[in-house]
Structure 1
């Protein structure tokens, strides 16, 4: 197939890498990054109508949308009007991520378990709700897209009020904070659960755990994600069944009733409290870096998963997952997540260890190619991925690979998958 992948990060690189291994596709990336050009052809057509024309002229059989912004902007609707096959939710369905208020109200309307909350644009109303809360911390969320950074966990009522004020005034997140959600803090452990959906049918991938904080021991500010692993041993068949029955099925049914059938990846942020799964949020695409550690676990063809999802045929797909674990360690730039860093040349040692070569790889993200050299130019530069029969083996390989990668100012967490290994 001719396949077009929208996006420029490690998520899109990892999807492209999984497709490239099938050795039967011609890949295009829009815009891609400095390393995706080794997997396919990078193009730069940011106008979605013109991109749809490109897809027609180049006989693109399938388009896969990586990031949330094109989905919220309606790229799927445009491609479908042009009778093109595209994997992802429509503009209306993408409101599940585009508006946290919309998402919370869907959860409430269809009795899907979530934290008690208030949605408001009134500072006084938000402050009154905060005053009425019996405990802290308190969670404050900006309604709109904030690149995964619009959620603040306030440790006191005063901090929660100040956060609300900063969001509503536009100081924190601009227009994205014009409406806020204030909700109770849930004390449990967090999961990333991904369901591939076609409007009616779904396939659940192994549950992952992300590491949002920049520093070891979950310290420092939130980031887009500093590493992940899957599957997590913190989930059993009972929890998977509860997530399917109480979350995924009513969500798909509810979105049908809203005349916005959900197709694409449903990324469910779950907090497990006393063995009960409670929805924190929905995203409408793969997580990053979770995608980087889920793609290598697919034994089925990735192309079939995406194509069947895009053409309402998931009921025909028997998805197979490898009986292995995968760990991804993010290599970030020196000043991430505080500010941008100077571009730095990336060098990778000549790896001779066959075991490491066969069971690890790099997914490139914030990189550019210049005069034949790869430069670290983004916040999260790349992900070192290891796979193995145990989480420890997979993690060891990921960290062995990370020791072979060099660029000025590189930073990474040394404790990825600690939740699993301490248990």
Structure 2
């Protein structure tokens, strides 16, 4: 089987790392890919992830049998629709189904229709009414840009002053461009936050092992929101009873409602959940594999990834029994100084060989080769250092041992990943 994975970050590295282990793989291509992926797959840096026409043309030229779409932008832009129209099988939702992530207001509409538990909310397209709403809803409160904002459009506000600033940033300053022209203001949920990724073929939905991301930049969940500073799996707080409730009250109703609307969801549905005192509630849905959650879920998946993905595309996920290895996985993100704000690029990276010797797997997220062929930083999140072990504690210890061996100027990371599990 010739496979094309769309994307070039840590998530796509983890998917490619898992896909290349498949007994069905003949050729693995990744567009645009990254230097880490390039060690074992063909990369096509000339084709950007969101270039719908370019991705379709590449798949045609290579004779690709299956495309796996990683990032949200090409999904929202209709890449799966275009691939399907070209007769190429693709794993991922259509643009209509991907609105579950591309529009937070749409996601709330779907949840309301399906009776899915989520935070109370209000939607605004004008600044003054939104500001007036804040005056009657003291903090803490959450301000969300409606559209795609690279994981940075959500602001948890402790008080009205912070909420006003977040609202101005989104609606007046247009920090998130058109994504912030409409905002969702919702109640702040308290509890343990969990990420649940699930395979879906449009009718059947099956959960993967739950993971816990750490979105704030600093230790103790302080500082600005990021795309994710590290994660681990499984999550002790996510018990079998809670998983059963999530299946019955959240995942199945959501997939059912999207199918009822004529937009069946085929792909990976990501449910960001808060385990509240009143039960699990949805914080957000994503229409694809999470990043950095995929970096710990894939190492624990015991199935052949391509067999599961093919079953989803062919509408027979009900035939597949998902299996997960015992033990745990942990992934520590190494970021550039200044992230998620402005940061330098082009800084040399050393120590990857030593990290390999420490028994970790390093997923590349924001790296490149410079003109001299030296591996350098090229993004806010640079690397993910992943390790497995018999327990979360053991996996974390191994991952942090690998972290210590990697060097680049301004290396930034959290030292408390997995603290809740410990």
TM-score of the alignment, normalized to the shorter chain, above 0.5: yes
Shift of 1:275: 5.5
Indicate yes or no: 2:274 matched with 1:271. Answer: yes
Partner of residue 293, structure 2: 290
CA contact (8 A) 1:85 1:311 kept: no
Shift of 1:173: 1.8
Shift of 1:351: 4.1
Shift of 1:107: 1.0
Indicate yes or no: 2:390 matched with 1:389. Answer: yes
Partner of residue 345, structure 1: 348
Partner of residue 325, structure 2: 322
1:225 to 225, 228, 237: 228
Shift of 1:170: 4.0
Q: 1:270 and 1:55, CA in 2 relative to 1: closer, same or farther beyond 3 A?
A: same
TM-score relative to the length of structure 2: 0.95
Q: Deviation digits for residues 81-116 of structure 1, max 9, x if unmatched?
A: 011110000000011111111111111122111111
Indicate yes or no: 2:149 matched with 1:138. Answer: no
Q: Deviation digits for residues 17-71 of structure 1, max 9, x if unmatched?
A: 1122336331111111122211211112344234323313322111010100000
The DSSP-based 3-state class of the residue aligned with 2:369 is strand
CA distance in 2, matches of 1:96, 1:3: 26
Indicate yes or no: 2:397 matched with 1:409. Answer: no
Partner of residue 361, structure 1: 361
2:47 to 40, 45, 48: 45
Within a 5 Å distance, the mapping from 1:45-84 to structure 2 comes to 45-46=47-48, 47-84=51-88
1:157 to 156, 160, 163: 160
Partner of residue 148, structure 1: 151
CA contact (8 A) 2:355 2:403 kept: no
CA contact (8 A) 1:239 1:275 kept: no
TM-score relative to the length of structure 1: 0.95
Partner of residue 183, structure 2: 180
How many residue pairs are counted as aligned between the two chains? 417
CA contact (8 A) 1:35 1:369 kept: no
Indicate yes or no: 2:255 matched with 1:252. Answer: yes
Partner of residue 12, structure 2: 12
Indicate yes or no: 2:87 matched with 1:86. Answer: no
CA distance in 2, matches of 1:45, 1:175: 25
Within a 5 Å distance, the mapping from 1:21-36 to structure 2 comes to 21-22=21-22, 24-36=25-37
CA contact (8 A) 2:355 2:402 kept: no
Q: 1:413 and 1:83, CA in 2 relative to 1: closer, same or farther beyond 3 A?
A: same
CA distance in 2, matches of 1:157, 1:210: 27
Shift of 1:130: 2.1
Q: 1:373 and 1:162, CA in 2 relative to 1: closer, same or farther beyond 3 A?
A: closer
Q: 1:13 and 1:349, CA in 2 relative to 1: closer, same or farther beyond 3 A?
A: closer
Shift of 1:311: 2.0
Shift of 1:372: 3.5
Unaligned residue ranges in structure 2 (runs of 5+): none
CA contact (8 A) 1:170 1:177 kept: no
CA distance in 1, matches of 2:216, 2:356: 32
Partner of residue 193, structure 1: 196
Q: Which moved more, 1:3-12 or 1:102-111?
A: 102-111
Partner of residue 376, structure 2: 375
Q: Which moved more, 1:37-46 or 1:100-109?
A: 37-46
Q: Deviation digits for residues 268-304 of structure 1, max 9, x if unmatched?
A: 0101111600011101111111111111001111111
